[in-house]
Structure 1
Amino acid sequence: MFKYVIFDVDGTILDTERAILKSLDQVLREEGHAYPIEELRFALGIPGQETLRKLKVNDMERVHSKWSQAVLEFSHEVEVFEGLREVIQSLPVIPVRTGIVTSKTKQQLADEFEPFGLTSNFEQIVCADDTKNHKPHPDPLLLCLAKLNAPPNEAIYIGDSVYDMQCAKEAGVKFALALWGAKRRKGFESADYVLAEPKDMLQLLNE
């Protein structure tokens, strides 16, 4: 059914929620801004600079760099979602071709994703600094499709945020909600598929 599977990273492959929110909270407090953690959840799934722009943070470049370093302090709280490593490694057998579209920059991907040893499982990777426009704009996903030479109707994008879903819809790609990362169905009523756990992906791809 699908010949190409493209993944988001944060909240889809890696459980990064605690690290992102705790580091953002820490940096904002150091900069004299305090918000309840729940009010910072919008930061999950969009580029860091976009988050700081929405928060109207001054000296954004400096604070973004500071936040990127702070995230690494919480790296012990980041892990690959249970069962996902095995699913990713089994995809070539189906066979399907794979890619990543992430809001991480190339440097963040190197620091925060590559240590988990999964990078080689993906044919193409599009990061935040590869396109001028970012999710929910379709450009990052369209670039990944072009790199894979993949027709949109043969691809599926797996993500955990509304930004991921909007990006997929605008790119003409089916969207599968990674419920293990999103933790909720509300707001995702227009998702094409809902995957309760990683192994559900194999069932969908084998249909």
Structure 2
Amino acid sequence: MYQAIVFDVDGTILDTEKAVLHSLQSVLAEEDQFYTHEELRFALGIPGEKAIQRLNIQNEEEILTKWMEREVQMASEVQLFDGIEAVLAQIPESGVVTSKNSYEMKKGFYLFGIGDYFQAIVCASDTVNHKPHPDPLLKAIELLARNPQEVLYVGDSPYDMACAHSAGVDFGLALWGAKSEKGFEKAEHVFRQPSEILTHVAIQNE
């Protein structure tokens, strides 16, 4: 049993894939650069500036700003995954480690009214190094006053798994977001639906 569960946000708590990829695709198209969603999937799970850098675009800051603004405009395409809030409500100690920055969290996370479920929230603005580096997760563990062995990190991307293992933390794959187990053979757990997480967390009895 784990004493605390730490969650990724995009693809784990929030179904953001369509909004993230659609907004990036449309902004790039305005620059006469055309990509399919599949070609842009690498952008899921890493900070926006890192994704833009991989595209070798000259006006990186301008494109990043447009992307973030466009993604906010597509907020109606984002929703909580089915069953995730009910699970969050039952976990006594939990946290968030996400590649969203503080602006994205304000516009695309806190509006869902789930922030109070978490005792630690670490976003890309809170650490110098980002996933897959272990620093964000280690910061969350410190805020929770836990040891890595007491924590499970749940996410949907290879960056999440690498971050967990680098921090000495077990990893649980959110299959509802990842959609495939390929590449996640080293995951300690594979969860097909959020409720399965509850079988691995120490829930306090009143």
TM-score over 0.5 for the pair = yes
Aligned partners of 1:206, 1:83: CA distance in 2, in Å? 19
**Is the deviation greater in 120-129 or in 6-15?**
120-129
Task: Give the secondary structure class of the aligned counterpart of 1:175.
Answer: strand
Q: Does 2:126 align with 1:124?
A: no
Contact 2:3 2:202 in 1 (8 A): no
Tell me if structure 1 keeps the 8 A contact 2:99–2:131: yes
5+ residue gaps, structure 1: none
The 8 Å contact of residues 171 and 188 in structure 2, kept in 1 or not, is answered as yes
1:10-159 equivalence runs, <5 A? 10-92=10-92, 97-159=93-155
Aligned residue type for 1:43: A
Q: Structure 2: how far apart are the matches of 1:152 and 1:104?
A: 23
RMSD of the alignment, in Å? Answer: 1.1
Q: Where has structure 1 moved over 6 Å in runs of 4 or more? A: none
Q: Which moved more, 1:157-166 or 1:120-129?
A: 120-129
Q: Note the alpha carbon deviations across 1:28-68, whole angstroms, 9 max, x for none.
A: 11122111221100111000000000111222122111111
Q: For residue 135 of structure 2, what is the amino acid of its counterpart?
A: D
Provide, for residues 58-95 of structure 1, a one-character-per-residue CA deviation record: whole Å limited to 9, x for no partner: 22122111111000121111100001111101112xxx
For 2:133 and 2:174, how far apart are their aligned partners in 1? 20
Q: Find the residue that maps to 2:89 and give its secondary structure.
A: helix
Residue 168 of structure 1 corresponds to 164
Distance 1:6 1:21 in 2: 25
Q: Deviations over 1:103-143 (max 9, x none)?
A: 00011001001111001111111110111111111111111
Letter of the structure 2 residue corresponding to residue 103 of structure 1: S
Identity value in percent:
48
The number of residues matched between the two structures is 203
Gaps of 5+ in 2: none
Using the TM superposition, give the Cα deviation of residue 206 of structure 1 relative to its aligned residue in structure 2, in angstroms.
5.1
What is the CA–CA distance in structure 2 between the aligned matches of 1:67 and 1:115, rounded to whole Å?
A: 19
SS at match of 2:194: coil
User: 1:9 matched to which residue of 2?
Assistant: 9
| Paired amino acid for 1:32 | D
Cα-to-partner distance string for 1:119-176 (whole Å, 9 max, x where unaligned): 1111111110111111111111111111111100000000000000000000000000
